[in-house]
Amino acid sequence: MSKRKLENPIKIVIDESEKGGIYALGVLEITERQEQMLNRRFTALREKIKSRLIERKPNIVYDPEFINIELPELHGEALAQSTGYYRNRKNANKNYWMEHFEWYEEALKIIHRVNPKIYFIHMNDHRIGMDSVIKRRNEGIEITCKMLKEKHDVPDYILDNYRSLLRNQYIYLLPRAMVTMDKILRSRNKEAILICDNKDECKGFATLSLWDVLKERGLHANLSIPDFLSSIDEPSIQAIDLITYVTIQVTHMNSVSSESKNPGDHFKRMWYWQVYKKYIEGLDVSSNSSSRSLGVLTSDELAICTEMAVELSFKSAKIPKATLENIIDLGRHNFRLG
């Protein structure tokens, strides 16, 4: 779908996150009216936070990171870990960071009231049976690399790039997210504008040749070519970042036992769980049984996603097109995740 003016556009916003072997994409679906409400309420909250940060630490106005922004960004990790201009080491009140969780919860409350749809697509290396899947995938990578070297004389630096790409979980997650959203939009006969964060970690969205692969397969007719915007200027990106950060903490807690006796860690675990149940779970279409059939891909669709990941990695590694055509069937066979 080309970039053109849509009537009553839906916006799809993507954010990625990783924690301890769990890789995730959070997807926010928001209408124009919902976004207007989100912008107004987020602006009021950010203005309050800015005033409070200046009150709490007057010399923050000389912080280069702070003076170059109009309003503070609502960022999950920065609020939860008190990083950047949220950190205040010299504050006499050692519990100043509690205020950040209050702001975080207020932001989640706003998102909950706006009521967008949320999809959480993740891959969990801790899942039962994943060790064997990862082992098979790594063996497949090496088999393909050996063939590329022996039969096609592909240079080592390209093979190293190829290995790195195929071990990057996001190369599997992104096709899953796009196929899932395209399927959902087609079921409603709707089109959507796609928004991604332009921060360095997200530039892979632009460089993975994803849209060429999707177009070849006829799978992105309902999604626009993505716009890469700054999260500081785009409240919808901030919203999905806040949601994804909490959700991946909860997903990680459910997958890996923690033995930390630090009271701060215990507080955070309890806080993540409580706000997830209170503000996020009801928005998550992928956890809602009435909508789950749309958000879950069939085995054939998952196979297509894996094949797309292989194609993306070959193209991004700059393996010649003739070579790609010769070995793509082998790649598909070696990297099916099942």
Q: Domain locations in the chain?
A: 10-31+118-125+169-297
Supply the pLDDT for residue 74. 97
Supply the pLDDT for residue 292. 39
Q: Which DSSP category does 304 fall into?
A: H
- Residue 25's contacts (CB-CB under 8 Å, 6 or more residues apart) are 14, 15, 16, 120, 121, 122, 170, 173, 174, 176, 177, 244
Answer yes or no: are the C-beta atoms of 56 and 93 closer than 8 Å: no
- Residue 91's contacts (CB-CB under 8 Å, 6 or more residues apart) are 56, 57
What is the rounded CA–CA span in Å between residue 89 and residue 186? 51
Q: What is the pLDDT of residues 299-309, one digit of tens each?
A: 666 667 667 76
Question: Amino acid identity of 335?
Answer: F
E strand spans, 143-274: 192-197, 227-229
301 or 192, greater pLDDT: 192
Supply the pLDDT for residue 279. 95
| CA 177 vs CA 16, 56, 123, 137, 174: distances in Å | 11, 41, 12, 21, 5
What is the rounded CA–CA span in Å between residue 30 and residue 115? 8
The mean pLDDT value for 323-331 works out to 58
42 or 23, greater pLDDT: 42
Give the other-Cβ count within 10 Å of 13's Cβ: 29
187 or 170, greater pLDDT: 187
Supply the pLDDT for residue 204. 52
- Tokens representing 238? 């901030």
The mean pLDDT value for 12-17 works out to 88
Give backbone dihedrals phi and psi of 31, rounded to 5 degrees, phi first.
-85, 170
Q: What is the pLDDT of residues 216-267, one digit of tens each?
A: 776 666 777 778 888 999 999 999 999 999 999 998 888 766 666 666 678 8
pLDDT band at 178 (very low <50, low <70, confident <90, very high): confident
CATH number of 10-31+118-125+169-297: 3.30.420
DSSP 3-state assignment of 227? Answer: strand
Supply the pLDDT for residue 322. 62
Supply the pLDDT for residue 291. 40
2: alpha, beta or left? (left if phi > 0; alpha if psi -120 to 50): beta
- Average pLDDT for the chain: 78
DSSP 3-state assignment of 281? Answer: helix
What is the rounded CA–CA span in Å between residue 84 and residue 78? 7
Q: How wide is the angle at C-alpha 114 spanned by C-alphas 100 and 10, nearest 5°? A: 120
Is the whole-model pTM more than 0.85?
no
Q: Partners of 23 in the beta sheet?
A: 18, 123
- Residue 134's contacts (CB-CB under 8 Å, 6 or more residues apart) are 125
Cα distance from N-terminal residue to C-terminal residue, the chain: 30
Q: What is the pLDDT of residues 81-133, one digit of tens each?
A: 999 889 877 765 667 889 999 999 999 999 999 999 998 887 765 554 556 66
Supply the pLDDT for residue 191. 86
What is the rounded CA–CA span in Å between residue 22 and residue 64? 34
The mean pLDDT value for 195-219 works out to 65
For residue 36, the Cα-to-chain-centroid distance in whole angstroms is 23
Residue 152 has pLDDT above 60, yes or no: yes
Supply the pLDDT for residue 61. 84
Residue 293 has pLDDT above 50, yes or no: no
Query: How large is the greatest C-alpha to C-alpha distance in the chain, in angstroms?
Result: 67
Residue 188 has pLDDT above 90, yes or no: no
Burial status of residue 109 (CB atoms within 10 A of its CB: 0-12, 13-18, 19 or more)? middle
Of the spans 48-62, 129-143, 177-191, which averages the highest pLDDT? 48-62
Task: Please give the share of the chain, as a percent, with pLDDT higher than 90.
Answer: 28
Q: What is the pLDDT of residues 54-76, one digit of tens each?
A: 998 888 888 888 888 899 999 99
Supply the pLDDT for residue 8. 64
71 or 215, greater pLDDT: 71
Supply the pLDDT for residue 20. 80
